[in-house]
Amino acid sequence: MNSDMITFTDVHKSFGNNHVLRGIDLEVAKGESMVIIGGSGTGKSVLIKSVLGLLKPEKGHIQVDGKDANLGDRDAFLARFGMLFQGGALFDSLTVWQNVAFRLMRGALKRPKEEARAIAVEKLRRVGLKEWVADMYPAELSGGMQKRVGLARAIAAEPEIIFFDEPTTGLDPIMAGVINELFREIVVEMGATAMTITHDMSSVRAIADKVAMIHDGKVRWTGPIADMDDSGDPYLDQFINARAEGPIEAVR
């Protein structure tokens, strides 16, 4: 629980003149659920995508389990991760079970079709979806069901590290609560390290062990969830209490 699974050291990333990350330093411990909060456009998704190699930081180092994230066997590296994308990012042309079992039907983890389907159905059941959903297409599902399918896909190959990009965005409060509970159960059950991006403070309180707030391209505050309300940081206070007035300037 104490050794670091993911370490960010002085990570910088720009898009043209927009310097999104200006020196991120952050450690995520093994088996920990770290939630990243911060205003829109502060680079939270950029941070996660940089770990996976979807974006390349201009400066700084990202280490996963003590090894540089950019070195070594790419497939073996990615096989350690599962990711739930904000919009689900389910493949339209594939059925639900084919989406969930995608990784199990090709590459190093390939197994027979029947076995892959059985695992997919089991993972769907784990996220509260019945077997009849397996043969539907993503477009035929509601937003909440798509999130669950995305969650099932993220955990299908039982990854060590799971990233969740805004898991409750666009869901009604009850469905968001269900997803939060599911998330907590799955992460605890699998013993996985989790990094979640969210704006939903009820979600933060439900799933976080630790919280990091990004502001102005840097980690403004990080600490255990229990310390969040008494941090004494005016930026964090403004954000978690959703106040319009404060040091964070809102674009109106």
Cα torsion 246, 248, 249, 251: sign:
negative
Instruction: Determine if 86 is a binding residue for another protein (CB under 8 A).
Output: yes
Instruction: Determine if 112 is a binding residue for another protein (CB under 8 A).
Output: no
Q: Toward another protein, which CB reaches closer, 8 or 85?
A: 85
Instruction: Determine if 123 is a binding residue for another protein (CB under 8 A).
Output: no
Give the binding range for another protein (CB under 8 A) out of 35-43, 82-90, 193-201, 224-232.
82-90
For residue 145, the minimal CB distance to another protein (Å) is 16
Instruction: Determine if 190 is a binding residue for another protein (CB under 8 A).
Output: no
Which residue from 202, 239, 185 is spatially nearest to 194, judged by alpha carbons?
A: 185
Residues within window 125-154 making contact with another protein, judged by CB under 8 A? 153
Q: Toward another protein, which CB reaches closer, 79 or 219?
A: 79
Instruction: Determine if 79 is a binding residue for another protein (CB under 8 A).
Output: yes
HEC readout, 215-239:
ECCEEEEEEEHHHHHHCCCHHHHHH
Q: Which of 52, 175, 201, 219 binds another protein (CB under 8 A)?
A: 52
Q: Toward another protein, which CB reaches closer, 85 or 235?
A: 85
Give the up-direction half-sphere exposure of residue 46: CA atoms within 13 A in the CB hemisphere. 23
CA distance 82 to 164: 9
Rg of the chain in Å (alpha carbons)? 18
Instruction: Determine if 111 is a binding residue for another protein (CB under 8 A).
Output: no
Q: Is 11 exposed, middle or buried (0-12, 13-18, 19+ CB in 10 A)?
A: buried
User: SS3 for 98?
Assistant: helix
Give the binding range for another protein (CB under 8 A) out of 8-16, 52-60, 140-148, 167-175.
52-60
52-80 burial by CB neighbour count: b if 16+ within 10 A, else e?
Answer: beebebeebebbbbeeebeeeeeeebebe
Q: Which of 41, 53, 173, 246 binds another protein (CB under 8 A)?
A: 53
Q: Toward another protein, which CB reaches closer, 103 or 210?
A: 103
Interface residues toward another protein, by CB under 8 A: 49, 52-54, 74-75, 78-79, 81-83, 85-87, 89-92, 102-103, 106-108, 153
